[in-house]
Amino acid sequence: MESIKFTISVVLLTIVVFVCSSVHAAPQAESLQFWDDSEPSSGLTPNHLRWQKLLDKFVITVHPSGIHRVDYDAFSAADEKELRGYLAYLQQLDPRQLNKQRQKAYWLNLYNATMVLIVVVAQPSESIRSVDRKKLWVAERFSIAGQKLSLDNIMHGILRPLFKDERIHFALNLTTLGSADINPLAYTGDNVEELIDQAARDFLQQPRAVDFSDDELILSRLFYWYESDFGSNLTELKNYLKQYQSPDIVEKIEASKGVDYQYDWSLNKP
């Protein structure tokens, strides 16, 4: 009987560990080699004006919380059609024919605009988590250059492994208050480096990214999900964070004796 109880306990513990790991772990970055190509001298420049007009119309950059908001409820049928038209236009292009900077802007805009469309269509009341995970991240909703792609493919198969730029986590809009702000400017090959660098600075200097409770360091759960993108251990992560902080915050990071993670899944709506 004791042996049976022990076996059952081990099985239950294994299930709990597996479930917890599945909930908290992000997919590994694994390159989709089909997309690892570019044209350095290409003059092809995607037109992101339609996306910019929608950003101008619906992104609220002045809010008491200090966090950018998106007025999803204000989208009309015509606005939704315009957004779908922009996404269809992007999918008619082959990003491999772009230079690397325009490629980066292409994928970031495609991802962010799609996230906005998902919220507009699904109309979740409080959180993007109410949308079925497989339909949200895993569904192959894109057809580009003859290839089917999901949001997970774009993030974990293209942006993270092919560009190797941890700042993309601060340029992607996950429609949540816990993620970095949606940028009010469409990314282009000319502005993408400047905009994502500023996005990193803006986010990392906010309490939702770096905060403290007594001598404990409280970080955005983004640094837990994607810890390998920011360093191989906590010391390297702290060193990464310190380069964006004021001297007093650097001292508090250095003096911290523990770390915890937080994330607000609430929609970034007004």
DSSP per-residue string spanning 194-214: HHHHHHHHHHHTSTTTEEEET
Do residues 111 and 137 share a domain?
Answer: yes
Instruction: Give the end of a domain, one of 204, 221, 238.
Output: 204
pLDDT recorded at residue 4: 44
Task: Give the residue carrying structure tokens 């770096």.
Answer: 210
CA atoms within 13 A on the CB side of 84: 12
pLDDT recorded at residue 26: 79
Do residues 84 and 171 share a domain?
Answer: yes
Instruction: Give the end of a domain, one of 169, 204, 239.
Output: 204
> Helices H, strands E: what count in the chain?
11, 7
Do residues 133 and 226 share a domain?
Answer: no
pLDDT recorded at residue 17: 33
pLDDT recorded at residue 20: 37
CA–CA separation, 267 and 270 (whole Å):
9
**Count of the separate structural domains present in the chain:** 2
pLDDT recorded at residue 25: 62
Do residues 250 and 226 share a domain?
Answer: yes
Instruction: Give the end of a domain, one of 156, 187, 204.
Output: 204
Using an 8 Å Cβ cutoff, are 145 and 107 in contact?
no
DSSP-assigned letters across all residues of 34-82: GG----TT-------HHHHHHHHHHEE---TTSS-EE-GGG--HHHHHH
Q: Which two tokens stand for residue 8?
A: 């059952």
- List, run by run, the mean pLDDT of 10-residue segments along the chain (270 residues): 40 35 66 96 97 98 95 98 98 98 98 97 90 89 98 97 97 95 98 98 96 96 95 94 96 95 96
Do residues 226 and 151 share a domain?
Answer: no
pLDDT recorded at residue 132: 85
Report the chain's terminal Cα–Cα distance, integer Å: 58
Do residues 231 and 188 share a domain?
Answer: no
DSSP assignment letter at 229: G
- Select from 119, 137, 141 the least CA-distant residue to 128: 119
Do residues 89 and 129 share a domain?
Answer: yes
Do residues 51 and 94 share a domain?
Answer: yes
CA–CA separation, 121 and 260 (whole Å):
34
Do residues 37 and 68 share a domain?
Answer: yes
Do residues 123 and 109 share a domain?
Answer: yes
Q: Which domain holds residue 85?
A: 33-204
CB proximity list for 229: less than 8 A, separation 6 or greater: 29, 160, 166, 169
Do residues 167 and 196 share a domain?
Answer: yes
pLDDT recorded at residue 241: 97
Residue 96 lies in a domain: yes
Residue 114 lies in a domain: yes
Residue 165 lies in a domain: yes
Using an 8 Å Cβ cutoff, are 117 and 84 in contact?
yes
What is the strand order of the sheet 216-220 is part of?
Answer: 210-213, 216-220, 258-262
CA–CA separation, 36 and 158 (whole Å):
8
Ramachandran sector of residue 175 (left: φ over 0; alpha: ψ -120 to 50; beta: rest): left
pTM score of the predicted model: 0.90
Residue 20 lies in a domain: no
Residue 23 lies in a domain: no
DSSP assignment letter at 181: P
Residue 25 lies in a domain: no
pLDDT recorded at residue 125: 82
Do residues 127 and 38 share a domain?
Answer: yes
Residue 16 lies in a domain: no
Residue 185 lies in a domain: yes
